[in-house]
Amino acid sequence: MKWTGDLAHFPYPFKDSTYRYSNNSIPMKQPFCIEVTPSYKKEMLLKRKLLSDHPERCYQSLPHSITGQWEIVELLIDHLISQYPQHFSVEKENNSWIFFNKILDEKVEFIFGDENSLSCEPLFFISHHVQEDLIYMRQRDDDLYLDAGQLCFPANWSLAFNIGMKFKNIHHPIPGFKEEGLDQRILQFLMRLEAGTPWERLNWSLMAGDRLDTSLETFDQWGKLRKHVTRENAGELVHIRVEVQKLFRLPRTNSILFSIHTHLLSLEQLSTNREWLQQFYEILSELHAHIVEYKGISHYKASLMHYLEEQLERVKAT
């Protein structure tokens, strides 16, 4: 099964021909935290299978997160029906809600705020209707804590390990992050996040293969493909993985919803855009060794560069 997205809608992540870690968040133009793409059905099928087969890996929550979870349900349903009224709708009578997902032909009835009216936790329920992974960060004592989350398509990290963790601690594995004071600056930025003014950022990495579910728990399986990259197959095998990450303040619980929508594109497809190819090549040529290592590119960087050089020559010749 191919999970690669289409070129026209791909959130190409680069502006300059160099890449450094920075706070690259920008205010959102359209304040919606979800996006329904043409692969909606396919991805929902995969996501639901992961949620039911591996609940501990894909879903975690602490008991006091329930109120915040309802806030997320409200926000997401609101965004779904205003952004995609042809696909989603809701009927509300006092606290009795009936939610309709017309793409999947489903109807869910529940009492808003009453956990017993659903067969699962509120965040778990709404996760079954959006492509995004959803992380709930609660603000207390001048810090942000990962108090609940649904994560099916992680870029090689473990929600089960990170549950309950503080923002800076979560980012501990990233080389240079603490040393450059970035973790502190980003935390301050997040704590000032205001309701009604959401922000978004793009994060990118490379992977061998086209799996969406690259969890740390299964790294021993999918990570092996890194060793199979050659200059001949790099175009097909290596994918750029871009996460559209959105940050919304939830005013009632003074917490933050962090949503992650993951897109994949093969380098072959990326190379069909001349400017992208040139810029991407320049970025990789110049990328600091510690970032190359952290993003897991070291194994196959040489083959990758050969592949890109060949593509550049091909383009120049035409």
Partner 1 sequence: MKNKAVFINGKRKYIFCGDEQGLKLLSNVLEKGKEEGLTYDRYLLSDLKMTLLQDFLKSQKMGTFVYLAIPFLVLQQFRKALEDIGYLEEDVQYIGYGERKIPVFCCRCHEINMSNQEQNRLFCNRCSLELEVSDHYSAMHNAFLGYVAKL
Judged by the rule CB under 8 A, the positions of this chain that interact with partner 1 are 56, 158, 160-166, 169, 172-173, 216-220, 223-224, 226-227
Which DSSP category does 30 fall into?
A: S
CA atoms within 13 A on the CB side of 277: 21
Choosing from 185, 201, 211, 274, the catalytic residue is 201
According to the binding rule CB under 6 A, does residue 201 interact with ligand HEM?
yes
Which DSSP category does 174 fall into?
A: S
According to the binding rule CB under 6 A, does residue 186 interact with ligand HEM?
yes
Residue 21: both structure tokens together = 């870690």
Residue (173 or 251) nearer to ligand HEM, CB: 173
Q: Is 211 a catalytic residue?
A: no
- DSSP string covering 211-265: -S-B-GGGHHHHGGGGGG--TTTHHHHEEEEEEEEEEEEETTTTEEEEEEEEEEE
Strand ranges for 141-235 from DSSP E: 143-150, 199-208
3-state secondary structure string across 39-95: CHHHHHHHHHHHHHHCHHHHEEECHHHHHHHHHHHHHHHHHHHHHCCCCEEEEEECC
Choose among ligand HEM, partner 1, none what residue 130 binds, the Cβ cut-off being 5 to 8 Å by kind: none
Choose among ligand HEM, partner 1, none what residue 171 binds, the Cβ cut-off being 5 to 8 Å by kind: ligand HEM
Out of 160, 163, 174, 312, the residue judged to bind ligand HEM by CB under 6 A:
174
Of 172, 165, 157, 203, the C-alpha closest to 57 is 157
Out of 14, 21, 40, 222, the residue judged to bind ligand HEM by CB under 6 A:
21
In the complex, minimum distance from the CB of residue 75 to ligand HEM, in angstroms, rounded to a whole number: 16
Residue (79 or 226) nearer to partner 1, CB: 226
Choose among partner 1, ligand HEM, none what residue 270 binds, the Cβ cut-off being 5 to 8 Å by kind: none
According to the binding rule CB under 6 A, does residue 169 interact with ligand HEM?
no
| Beta-bridge partner residues of 204 | 242
Catalogue the active-site residues.
201
Return residues touching ligand HEM (CB under 6 A).
Answer: 21, 23, 25, 135, 137, 146, 157, 162, 170-171, 173-174, 186, 190, 201, 203, 205, 256, 258, 294-295
